[in-house]
Amino acid sequence: MTRQERIAALKAAAKERVLILDGSWGVMIQKRGLAEADYRGERFKDAPGQLKGNNDLLCITRPDIIADLHDQYFAAGADISETNTFSATTIGQAEYGMEAAVRDINLQGARIAREVADRWTAKEPHKPRFVAGSIGPLPVMLSMSSDVNDPGARKVTFDQVYEAYSEQVRALHEGGVDMFLVETITDTLNCKAAIKAILDLEDEGYEPVPIWISGTITDRSGRTLSGQTVEAFWNSVRHAKPFAIGLNCALGADLMRPHIAELARVADTLVSAYPNAGLPNAMGEYDEEPHQTGHQLHEWAEHGLVNILGGCCGTTPDHIRHVAEAVKGMKPRQVPERPRAMRLAGLEPFELA
């Protein structure tokens, strides 16, 4: 299948059923008990500093592990699997001194996922598998000061963030992703830089691919870290005409539900949700059992709140299997038609009919 044929198949599938995204990558990699040598491989054996913990680097040094994880999630029922590129920007990789490896991480991450997805599609053509290029948050924010004594202080400029995302999205596109997933968004201005980087690809001659945007509500306040409500966040990014808008991370399904319901009310596109396996315990581990996650997300689908479901921190292939089984045969949320109006946002939404 060509990329455009895959995108058409993706959109057709979204009209028929609730699509399933994969689960956590961090928890599954952690279970492997990898050593420093696994992260270094031959290419980075003499690199200074510690590389252990830089999971994106495994796309280059341990592609077998990354391919196996894609396999496990597709076998569990996922329609979509993310590339292992969550922190693969020059800004994100600076902590490890791996800025020069960013293009290769994204290119290889996309190629690994593409190969596995295509293999599953060939085996089960009635259920094509898709690849989402994972574009995660940065360790710096454009919307908030880096110095409590200087409200205007920023560690980066918009142009620097834009360039970092541009390098990532070019490589992901060249590697064969079917969509871009800008995820775990805490800062809407960072997100806007990523959106611009994606949209500008068309001016460079790249064929267009769908954009999927997923924000993070950081606590019970119902706001992103940069202060926006769910509706204000949607108003800020809807100009990109995303394939899907959603929420992930930070919260378990019980605490995320009211915010997903609000997003389902206001968004005139597909709605996605991939919560954590509950909240972490005192040891930083997640105790929610797969059947519990499946039961809660079944209720969301039953009430017509979602089009795409998956898992974030603490979720495993077993969690995804239970979610897939729980919503099998259920109708996806119907996208509402909202009246024309001028909709703006600061921290709060503003609508003028």
Distance CA 164, CA 60 (A): 19
All domains of the chain in start order, with CATH: 3-331 (3.20.20.330)
**Is a pLDDT exceeding 90 seen at residue 152?**
no
- Position 259 scores a pLDDT of 96
Q: What's the farthest any 2 CA atoms get from each other in the chain? A: 61
Q: Strand, helix or coil at 88? A: coil
Of 243, 244, 8, nearest in space to 128 by CA: 8
pLDDT tens string 155-211: 999 999 999 999 999 999 999 999 999 999 999 999 999 999 999 999 999 999 999
- Position 161 scores a pLDDT of 98
191 is in an annotated binding site: no
Distance CA 55, CA 104 (A): 14
Residues 6+ apart with CB under 8 A from 284: none
pLDDT cut 90: percent of the chain above it: 91
Q: How many CA atoms lie within 13 A of 308 on its CB side?
A: 30
Of 135, 215, 213, 137, nearest in space to 175 by CA: 135
DSSP letter, residue 267? -
Q: Are 176 and 7 in contact (CB under 8 A)?
A: no
- Position 352 scores a pLDDT of 85
312 is in an annotated binding site: yes
- Position 284 scores a pLDDT of 86
**Is a pLDDT exceeding 80 seen at residue 353?**
no
- Position 162 scores a pLDDT of 98
Paired residues of 81 in beta bridges: 131
* Helix or strand holding residue 182 (H, E): strand 179-185
pLDDT tens string 13-29: 999 999 999 999 999 99
Q: Are 132 and 183 in contact (CB under 8 A)?
A: no
pLDDT tens string 275-285: 999 988 988 88
pTM given for the model:
0.96
- Position 220 scores a pLDDT of 79
* Helix or strand holding residue 64 (H, E): helix 63-75
The pair of structure tokens assigned to 120 is 């599953």
